[in-house]
């Protein structure tokens, strides 16, 4: 493909699908994509394997509620979560998104995971789709500060590594937590954004949200060095400045 054709391809606004979990990385990647492109749909893989190598699992059932809060269609696709085989499920989901929404590219929230990014890139290449990774190699502490500065409200929904403890579960990422994560990074070498699988998150609100999430009931399950903040009931609440919509609830 020559330079003229490459420039012509990217001269128009691209129709994109976002690999989406409702966590901070996929939501912020969606935000970045919406700045210049047209996000047609969110693609959520629901894995039956809590130890999935590829996909976010804590509170993944709330991804649909987050999508509703943002106001973008969501395509949900189930996978048994078998290592490597789940890539075929991802490929099938992307093909279906292209059929339904005419997407020309895929957005990911990958930061440092070569395991995930290389496999997604390969699928996109096989399907002749653009792969957009707006967070790739971003400084993780700067990124967490950026989330707050841009008005995102993010809570921790899972911790999976020492020395992260039960106190993190359900806690909001704020300046105090970022300072603590920075200290733990220096002392224990953890990835402060959880890119190494140390933690998972859920976004409750942000600048692209038409409505915000409210957690009504949740339980903290913690054992050893692992824990989950299991959200049993949540709903959407109106935001000032946005038209009133019917409030949705997930129990």
CA 180 from chain center: how many Å? 23
- pLDDT tens digits for 164-196? 999 999 999 999 999 999 999 999 999 999 988
DSSP SS3 for 77: strand
Q: How confident is the model at residue 143 (pLDDT cuts 50, 70, 90)?
A: very high
Helix (H) or strand (E) holding 140: helix 140-149
Q: How confident is the model at residue 13 (pLDDT cuts 50, 70, 90)?
A: confident
**Which position has the token pair 């994560």?**
181
User: In this predicted model, which residue has the larger pLDDT, 245 or 158?
Assistant: 158
Report the C-alpha gap between 96 and 103 in whole angstroms. Answer: 10
Mean of the pLDDT values across residues 94-102? Answer: 98
Could you list the residue range(s) of the whole structural domain that residue 34 is in? Answer: 3-250
Summary mean pLDDT of the chain: 88
Report the C-alpha gap between 57 and 54 in whole angstroms. Answer: 10
Number of domains in the chain: 1
Quick one: pLDDT at residue 16?
98
Answer whether residue 205 shows pLDDT above 50: yes
pTM of the model: 0.89
Answer whether residue 104 shows pLDDT above 80: yes
User: In this predicted model, which residue has the larger pLDDT, 164 or 86?
Assistant: 164
Answer whether residue 57 shows pLDDT above 60: yes
Quick one: pLDDT at residue 153?
98
Quick one: pLDDT at residue 8?
45
- Structure tokens of 221? 């399950």
Report the C-alpha gap between 233 and 223 in whole angstroms. Answer: 22
Report the C-alpha gap between 234 and 211 in whole angstroms. Answer: 13
Quick one: pLDDT at residue 174?
98
**Which position has the token pair 């994109």?**
16
Quick one: pLDDT at residue 83?
67
Query: 150-179 burial, b for 16+ CB within 10 Å, e for fewer?
Result: eebbbbbbbbbbeebeeebbbbebeeebbe
Answer whether residue 156 shows pLDDT above 70: yes
- Rg, the chain, Cα only: 18
- pLDDT tens digits for 25-42? 999 999 999 999 999 999
- CATH number for the domain that contains residue 39: 3.40.50.620
């Amino acid at each position: 493909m020559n330079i003229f054709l490459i420039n012509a391809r990217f001269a128009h606004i691209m129709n994109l699908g976002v690999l989406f979990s409702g966590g901070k990385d996929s939501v912020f990647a969606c935000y970045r994509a919406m700045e210049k492109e047209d996000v047609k749909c969110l693609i959520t893989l629901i894995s039956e394997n809590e130890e999935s190598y590829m996909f976010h699992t804590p509170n993944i059932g709330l991804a649909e509620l987050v999508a509703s809060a943002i106001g973008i269609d969501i395509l949900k696709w189930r996978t048994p979560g078998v290592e490597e085989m789940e890539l075929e499920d991802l490929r099938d989901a992307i093909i279906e998104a292209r059929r339904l929404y005419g997407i020309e590219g895929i957005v990911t929230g990958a930061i440092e995971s070569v395991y995930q990014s290389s496999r997604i890139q390969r699928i996109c290449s096989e399907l002749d789709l653009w792969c957009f990774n707006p967070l790739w190699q971003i400084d993780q502490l700067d990124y967490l500060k950026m989330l707050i500065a841009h008005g995102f409200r993010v809570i921790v929904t899972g911790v999976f590594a020492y020395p992260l403890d039960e106190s993190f579960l359900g806690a909001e990422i704020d300046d105090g937590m970022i300072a603590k994560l920075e200290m733990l990074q220096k002392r224990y070498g953890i990835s402060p954004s959880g890119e190494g699988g140390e933690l998972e998150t859920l976004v409750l609100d942000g600048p692209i949200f038409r409505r915000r999430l409210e957690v009504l009931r949740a339980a903290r399950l913690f054992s050893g060095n692992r824990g989950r903040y299991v959200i049993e009931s949540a709903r959407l609440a109106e935001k000032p400045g946005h038209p009133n919509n019917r409030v949705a609830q997930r129990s």
